[in-house]
Chains A and B, each alone.
Chain A
Amino acid sequence: MHEITNIQKYSIHDGDGIRTTVFFKGCPLRCQWCHNPETQRYEAELSVDTKKCTGCGRCAARCPNGAITIAGGKAQTDRTKCTVCGVCTDACLLDLRTVTGKDYSVKELMKICTQDRIFYENSGGGVTLSGGEVMTMDQDYILRIAKELDYEGIPLNIDTCGEAPYEFFEQLLPYVDTWLYDIKVPDPEKHRKYTGRDNTRILENLKKLSDAGAKIYIRIPVVKEVNGDPDSIDAIIAILREKNIRAAQVNLLPYHNTGSHKYGKLGRDYPGKDFTAPDDEEMNQLAQQFRDAGFSPVTVGG
C-alpha cells in the first residue's frame, strides 16, 4: 500500500526550509482530532462535496454501478455500491467529486520531489514523507524513495506517529535527515481512548531511534481537553527525560478544526467536535515548560 492523497509544494510547516510534503494514505491510529481524515484508511475513497451540488444528474447518468441517485435536488451516493472507479469525477462540471488516493511509481514521485530542488537548496529545505502513517506503507517502496532522495542529495524528513515495527525505522535510518516524531498523550490508556491504540510501541521506538543517534523533532498536537494542560505537558517531559530522548526541536502544534469539513465529504462524522485549542498565552506557557526543562528550540506551530 502506498497511495498518496496529496503532494504539497512550498510546505513550510513540516520541517526546515521550503519543502515538498507527500501525504500517504492509511494510518493505524484514529486520533479524534485528526484534520486529515482522508489519510486514515489505506484504500482509495470517494470524496463528495454535496453542499455545492446542483443535482444536474450528470454523475448519476455516468455511474456504472448505479450508486448515485438524485434526491432533494442533490446527488446522493450509496457508498455500499460505489467501487471508487472515478467515472463520476470526470462527469461533474463543478469538480465536486474526487477520488482521494493515487498510486505514483517511484519514478513519477521522484520527478515531483526533485522539481523544487533549487528552493530546498536555497532555504535548507527538502522532502517530507508524511501521512497518514508513512511507516506503515509498502516498505520496499518507501525505502526506494528514501534511497533515491539520498542519491539526489535532497534531505528527507519522516513525519511519523511511531506506531510501526522498529525494523523499518532501522532500515530507513541512514537515509533520513530528521524525524518529525509525534507524541500525543502520555498515559497509555488515555492514548488508547483518543487514538485507538496505546503508546507502548510508540515510546519504545522513540527511545531506540534516539539511542541510535537520529535527529528528532518532537511534535505535540495540543488539544485543550486532551493534553493541553500543564500536568500533561509535565508528564510528556518526564517521559522524554526518563528515556533520555535527545530532541533537536520541540514543536507544539495547537489543535485546529480546519479538517472537520472533510469528514462529511467522506461520508463520516467528525469525532472531535467538542475539542478546542489553548489560547496563545496558554500555548506559550506550555512551550515555556519545555524550555524550563532544558529543551531548545521550542516553537508553537510547525
Chain B
Amino acid sequence: MEERGMNERIRHLRKVSMETPAHIDLERAKIETEVYKEYEDKVSLPVLRALVLKEYFSRKTLYLGEGELIVGEKGRDPQASPTFPELCCHTVEDMHIMNDRKLVSFKVTEQDIKDQEEIIIPYWQGKSMRDRLLARMTPEWRDCYGAGMFTEFMEQRGPGHTCGGKNVFAKGYMEYKEDIQDAIDHLDFMNDPEALDKREELEAMKIDCDAVCILGKRYHDLIAAEADKCTDPARKAELLQMVKNLEVVPAYKPQTYWQAIQHYWFTHLAVTTELNPWDAFSPGRLDQHLNPFYEADVQAGRLNDSQALELLECLWVKFNNQPAPVKVGVTLKESGTYTDFANINTGGVAEDGSDGVNRVSYLILDCMDEMKLVQPNSNVQISKKTPQKFLKRACEIARKGWGQPAFYNTDEIIQELLNAGKSLEDARQGGSSGCVETGCWGNEAYILTGYLNIPKIFQLTLHNGYDEVSGKQIGLALGNAEDFKTWDELWDAFRTQLEYIVEIKIRGNNVIERLYAEYMPAPCLSIVTNDCIKKGRDYNAGGARYNTNYIQGVGIGTVTDSLAAVKYNVYDKKKFTMHELMEATDHNFEGYDDIYHLVSEKTPKYGNDDDYADDIMKDAFALFRDTITGRPNMKGGTYRVDMLPTTCHVYFGSVIGATPNGRLANKPVSEGISPEKHADTHGPTAVIKSCAKMDHISTGGTLLNQKFTPSALAGEKGLDNLAGLIRSYFAMDGHHIQFNVIDRQTLLDAQAHPDEYRDLIVRVAGYSDYFRNLDKELQDEVINRTEQSFA
C-alpha cells in the first residue's frame, strides 16, 4: 500500500487507518440496551436519548494511538463500527453476511454474535425505527417501495446529513449548558402549553453537555497518566500539551488552533454517536472556522504552517477511521461500505461576502493532496471572487483523477438559499454537504428523504400504470401508450402519474418525520444548531431555524431521451408507431434493429447542446420540481428537490425494463444530471451547456460528473482550460462539477468492452475520435500515451 503523509507520524497513523479491517463494535448497543431497560417509560424520550450518550461516554473503551495529536474514536479503536439497534437491528444472518462478504467486510466475533442474539435482538426486535415505520406505511407505499419507485432514507438511518456552523467553535459545552439553563429559566409555564416538552428537551441537552465533557475529562486523565509514564521527552511534551488542551476543550471555548480541531472532533463524535444522522456530520466551512485561531497562533509564535498542516492531517486520519454504520437486510447484501459523507467545503465567501480563501484554505488543499483519502470528502467552493491561483491549485489536484476536490459554485449556492427564503448572512455560511445538498450550516435541518425513480414513472405512464417488473398495478390506470394520440395527451398522463407517486412518497414521509420527532430526538445536534435552544425544540422536531425536506430526482437523462425518442419518432417524424415502439421495448429491442438504431443513433439526445432534447429536459425537470417544491413538511418547513443519485441509478435501472431511448432492460439509468451513457457525442462543452439549461438555482443541488483523458488536461494550458471550463459552468449557474480522469485501466477496459464505452472520446494530438473507432494498434498507442503524467 502506498505510504502517504507529511512525516513519519502521519504515515504511521494513516497506515493504521488504511490497514485495520473494519469491525463491528457492540459496546454502544449493549450500553444503550441497558439504559433503555432501566429508564424507558421512567423518563421522557429526549432525556432517555441523552442518558444513552452520557452512559456510553462515561463507560466506553478509550483509544489513544501511538503518536496521536487528536484523540477520540466512535468505537473502541480505529475502524470500529458501533451499531444503532434503535434505528435498525441486525439479524444473526446479517452478522454473518457482513463478516463473510467478499467486497468490503466487517469483522464479527463469536462473542458479538452471541451478544447480538442474546441481548440486542430480544430487546430491539419490533421496536427499532425501521420496524416502527415500516409497520405504519400504506399498501400503496409498500408496493411503490418494493417496486423501486422510490427509496426511503430514514429506514436505516436517522435524519441528518448536516454540517456544523460556527457555533461548534464559538463555545464550550459548559458554556452551552449555561445558555440552556437560561432557556429553561425563561420557559413560560403559565401560558405555553409546550413548556413541559421544552423543558424535557432542554434538560436532555444539558445531560448531553455533561456527556461530552465527561468524555473530555476521561481523555484528559488518560493522557496525563500516559505522560507520566512517557520517557521520550518529545512525546512527553506533546502529551502534556494535549493535557493542557483538554483542560480547555470541550468544556470551554477553544483558544488555539489545536484546541479548535480537538473540540470539533469531540463534537463530531457526540453527534454521530447519539444517533446515526445519515452517516454524516462535518465541520463544513473548516477554513473559515479555523483561520482566526490559525492567525492568532501564528501571530503569537505558537504555530507554523508545518504544524498546522500536521494537525489537519491528524484530523483527516480521524475521519477516515470511522466506517459508516453497517446496513441490514438486502441493502447490506447489495452495497459495499463507505465511510461517512463528511463533506468539507474550502474557499467560498466569508460572512460579509468578501473572498473567503485564506491561508488555512491552501493548507487544506495541501492536506487533501497529500493524504488522498476518500474521507473526509474534501471539496472546494468557487465564487466570482475566488483567486485564480486557488482555483488552479484545486484543478491541479482534481486532474490527478481520484475525484477530489469536487467544485461547488458559491454564488449559485447563495442564490439557491436566498430563493428558499434564507437570510443573506446565513446563506453565505452555507455550502454543499453529503453529495451536493445545499444547506445553511449551523442553522438548518435539511433532510434527504429518498430518491425518486423518474424514468420508471414514465414507464408506468406507457403501461397503464402497470409495473412490468414487479408484476403489480403500481400507478393509475390512465390508458396504454397507444391510447395517447398526441404528445400533449402523453405528457398530461405523465404529469398525473408523477403527482400520484410523489403524493404516496410524501404521505409516507410525513408519518416517518413524526415518528422521528417523537422517538428519536437528537439533543446533542440540537445544541449546536440554531435555534433549537432558543425554541426549546429538537432538531428532529422543527427546532432548527430552517427546516427543509428534499426528494432527489434520479434519471433525468434517461427520461429526457425516452420522452424525446417518443416525441421525435412517433409524434413528429412518424418514423414508427407507438405500438411498434412498445413491442420493441417489450422485447428489449431484440429483433427490432431498425427501431433500436433510430432511437439510439438518430434521435436528438440530452447532452449535446441541442434544444430539441434539452427543452424536453427543462420541461421534465420543471414538472418534477413543481410537483414537489413548496409542499409543507411536518416541521414547519417545505419540500424542495435535489438532482443527485449517489449510486441509486444502478438500483433504479435494475428495476426498469427497456426504455424508448434504447437503454436496455435492467441497465443503470443516467447518473446525476449527466446525459444518458453514450448519448453525449459533442464533448464536454456541449454537456455543460445542456446541463446548465436546467434551472439549478431552483434546486437544492445538482451533480455533474465529467470525464477526461489526461492528455486533455495536460500542462499549464490544460490547467488553464480546466479552470476556464469551471468558471464557464459556474457563470451559467451550474451547482457542482467533478472530474473523472480516464486512466489506463479504463482504456484497457474500453478496448475489451467497446460497447460499454461508446461515448469515450480520446484526444490524441491534432484531432479527436471515439476510442471505439480506433484500430487496435492505435488504441494501444493511445493507452500507452495515457501513462504520461501531466508534465
Residues of chain A whose beta carbon lies under 8 Å from any beta carbon of chain B: 6, 8-10, 12-13, 17-18, 35-36, 49, 51, 90, 93, 95, 115-116, 118-119, 121-125, 253-254, 256-261, 301-302
Cβ A115 vs Cβ B609 within 8 A: yes
Nearest CB of chain A from residue B218's CB, rounded to whole Å: 54
Top 9 A-B pairs ranked by shortest CB distance? A123-B724, A122-B727, A10-B683, A122-B728, A122-B724, A119-B728, A9-B683, A93-B597, A118-B728
* Max chain A C-beta neighbours (<10 A), residue from B601, B609, B765, B768: B765
| Bound-complex Cα distance A302 to B683 (A) | 19
Q: Is the CB of B766 within 8 A of A253?
A: yes
CA distance A119 to B769 in the complex (A): 21
A92 CB, nearest partner CB in chain B, Å = 9
Kindly list chain B residues whose C-beta atoms are within 8 Å of the C-beta of A122: 724-725, 727-728, 731
List the A residue with the shortest CB-CB distance to B593.
A93
- Contacting pair A118 B766 (CB below 8 A): no
> How many Å lie between the Cα of A18 and that of B766 in the bound state?
14
Q: Give chain A nearest CB distance to B23 CB in angstroms.
A: 47
Which residues of B sit under 8 angstroms from A258, Cβ to Cβ?
Answer: 764-767, 769, 774, 778, 781
User: Does any Cβ of A come within 8 Å of B718's Cβ?
Assistant: yes
- Do A115 and B689 have beta carbons less than 8 Å apart? yes
Contacts of B727 in A (CB 8 A): 122-123
Are A8 and B767 interface neighbours, CB within 8 A? yes
A12 CB contacts on chain B under 8 angstroms: 712, 717-718, 721, 763
In the assembled complex, the CB of A121 is this many whole angstroms from the nearest CB of chain B, namely 8
Is B731 within 8 A of A254, CB to CB? no
Q: By the criterion CB–CB under 8 Å, are B689 and A301 in contact?
A: no
Q: Is the CB of B725 within 8 A of A256?
A: no
The interface residues of chain B lying within 8 Å CB-to-CB of A9 are: 682-683, 685-686
16 A–B pairs (Cβ distance < 8 Å), ordered by A: A8-B768, A9-B686, A10-B684, A10-B685, A17-B721, A18-B724, A18-B725, A51-B775, A93-B596, A115-B689, A119-B685, A122-B725, A123-B724, A256-B764, A261-B775, A301-B765
CB pair A119–B724 under 8 Å, yes or no, is yes
Q: A18-B724, A49-B773, A119-B724 are in contact. List 16 more A-B contacts (CB 8 A).
A: A8-B683, A8-B767, A10-B683, A12-B718, A17-B720, A18-B728, A35-B765, A36-B766, A36-B767, A118-B731, A122-B724, A253-B766, A258-B764, A301-B715, A301-B765, A302-B765
User: Which residues in B have their C-beta under 8 angstroms from that of A36?
Assistant: 766-767
Bound-complex Cα distance A10 to B685 (A): 6
Partner of A123 from B597, B686, B725 at Cβ < 8 Å: B725
Q: Would you call B732 an interface residue if the criterion is a C-beta within 8 Å of the partner chain's C-beta atoms?
A: yes
Chain A residues near B683: list those with CB within 8 A.
8-10
Once A18-B721, A123-B725, A261-B775 are accepted as A-B contacts, the answer to whether A93 and B765 lie under 8 Å apart by CB is no
Known: A18-B725, A258-B781. A35 touches B685 (CB 8 A): no
Complex alpha-carbon distance, A68 and B720, angstroms = 49
Is A123 in contact with B778, judged by CB distance below 8 angstroms?
no
Nearest Cβ on chain B to A115's Cβ, whole angstroms: 5
Q: A301 to nearest B CB, angstroms?
A: 7
Cα-based distance from A8 to B767 in the complex (angstroms):
8
- Kindly list chain B residues whose C-beta atoms are within 8 Å of the C-beta of A115: 609, 685-686, 689
Q: List residues of B (751-779) whose CB comes within 8 Å of A's CBs.
A: 763-769, 773-775, 778
CB distance from B466 to the nearest CB of A (A): 31
CB proximity of A242 to chain B, nearest CB, Å? 29
Closest to A20 in B: B685
List the A side residues contacting B763 at CB < 8 Å: 12-13
> B580 contacts the other chain (Cβ, under 8 Å)?
no
Inter-chain contacts of B769 with A (CB < 8 A): 258
CA distance A12 to B727 in the complex (A): 16
**Which residues of chain B in 210-249 are interfacial with respect to chain A, using CB atoms and an 8 Å cutoff?**
none
CB-defined contacts of A93 to chain B, threshold 8 Å: 593-594, 596-597
CB nearest neighbor in A for B768: A8
The CA-CA distance from A261 to B782 in the complex, in Å, is 14
* Shortest distance from the beta carbon of B388 to any chain A beta carbon, whole Å: 11
Chain B residues within 8 Å of A259, by CB: 766-767
What are the residues of chain A within 8 A of B712 when measuring CB–CB? Answer: 10, 12
Q: Which of A6, A8, A10, A253 contacts B765 (CB 8 A)?
A: A253
Taking a contact as CB atoms under 8 Å apart, the answer to whether A13 and B725 are in contact is no
Question: How far, in Å, is B411 (CB) from chain A's closest CB?
Answer: 14
Is B767 in contact with A261, judged by CB distance below 8 angstroms? no
A49 to B720, CA, bound (A): 37
B712 — nearest CB in chain A belongs to which residue? A12
B392–chain A nearest beta-carbon distance, Å:
12
Q: Which of A17, A35, A93, A95 has the most CB of B within 10 A?
A: A93
Expressed in whole angstroms, the minimum distance between the Cβ of A47 and any Cβ of chain B is 11
- A93→B596 CA distance, assembly (Å): 9
Whether A35 touches B593, Cβ cut-off 8 Å, given contacts A119-B728, A261-B774, is no
A257 to B717, CA, bound (A): 24
* Complexed CA–CA distance, A302 and B764 (Å): 11
A302 to B715, CA, bound (A): 11
Min CB–CB distance B722 → chain A (angstroms): 9
Bound state CA distance, A14 and B778, in angstroms? 22
**Contact yes or no, B767 A35, CB < 8 A:** yes
Instruction: Known A253-B766, A258-B765, A258-B781; judge A123-B689 contact (CB<8 A).
Output: no
Are A256 and B765 in contact, with the CB atoms below 8 A? yes
Least Cβ–Cβ distance between B615 and chain A, in angstroms: 15
- What is the 8 Å Cβ interface bit string for chain B, positions 556-582, against chain A (1 contact, 0 not)? 000000000000000000000000000
Q: In the complex, what residues of A have CB within 8 A of residue B718's CB?
A: 12
Listed residue (B682, B688, B732) with the most chain A CB atoms within 10 angstroms of its CB: B682
Cβ contact within 8 Å between A256 and B682? no
The interface centre, meaning the residue of A10, A17, A253 with most chain B CB atoms within 10 A of its CB, is A10
Question: With the chains together, A288 CA to B621 CA distance in Å?
Answer: 55
In whole angstroms, how far apart are the Cα atoms of A93 and B683 in the complex?
23
Nearest residue (CB) in A for B730 is A122
**What chain A residues lie within 8 Å of B732 (beta carbons)?**
118
Contact: A13 with B766, CB < 8 Å?
Answer: yes
Binary per-residue interface labels of chain B (642-686) against chain A in the complex, 1 for a CB within 8 Å, 0 otherwise:
000000000000000000000000000000000000000011111
Q: Which residues of A contact B775 (CB under 8 A)?
A: 51, 261
Check A17 against B724 for contact (C-beta < 8 Å): yes
Residues B481-505 near A (CB distance < 8 A): none
With most chain A CB atoms within 10 A of its CB, the pick from B601, B725, B768 is B768
Complexed CA–CA distance, A190 and B675 (Å): 50
Residues of B within 8 A of A18 (CB): 685, 721, 724-725, 728
Neighbouring B residues of A17 by C-beta, 8 Å:
720-721, 724
Pairwise interchain contact B689-A116, C-beta atoms closer than 8 A: yes
- Closest Cβ neighbor of A116 among chain B residues: B685
- How far, in Å, is B394 (CB) from chain A's closest CB? 16
Closest chain B residue to A221, Cβ basis: B766
CB under 8 Å from chain A, chain B span 583-637: 593-594, 596-597, 601-602, 609
Query: Which residues of chain A are within 8 angstroms of B602 by Cβ–Cβ distance?
Result: 90
Task: Name the interface residues of B111-156: CB closer than 8 Å to any CB of A.
Answer: none
Q: How far is the CB of B387 from chain A (nearest CB, A)?
A: 15
Q: Which residues of B contact A90 (CB under 8 A)?
A: 602
Q: Which residues of A contact B765 (CB under 8 A)?
A: 13, 35, 253-254, 256, 258, 301-302
Considering only CB atoms, which chain A residue lies closest to B731 in the complex? A118
* Best-buried of B686, B724, B781 by chain A (most CB within 10 Å): B724
Who on chain A is nearest to B727 by CB?
A122
Q: How many whole Å from A95's CB to the nearest CB in chain B? A: 6
Rounded to whole Å, the gap between the CB of A148 and the closest CB of chain B is 19
Cα-based distance from A24 to B727 in the complex (angstroms): 31
Chain B residues lying within 8 Å of A118, measured Cβ to Cβ, are 728, 731-732
Min CB–CB distance B675 → chain A (angstroms): 15
A12 to B767 Cα, complex, angstroms: 10
Within 8 Å CB of B715, what residues of A? 301
A125 x B724 contact (CB < 8 A)? yes
- Residues of A contacting B767 in the complex (Cβ-Cβ under 8 angstroms): 6, 8, 35-36, 258-259
> A282 CB to closest chain B CB, in angstroms?
16
Contact B601 A95 (CB under 8 A): yes
How long is the Cα–Cα vector from A257 to B769 in the complex, in angstroms?
Answer: 13
Closest CB-CB distance, A266 to chain B, in whole Å? 14
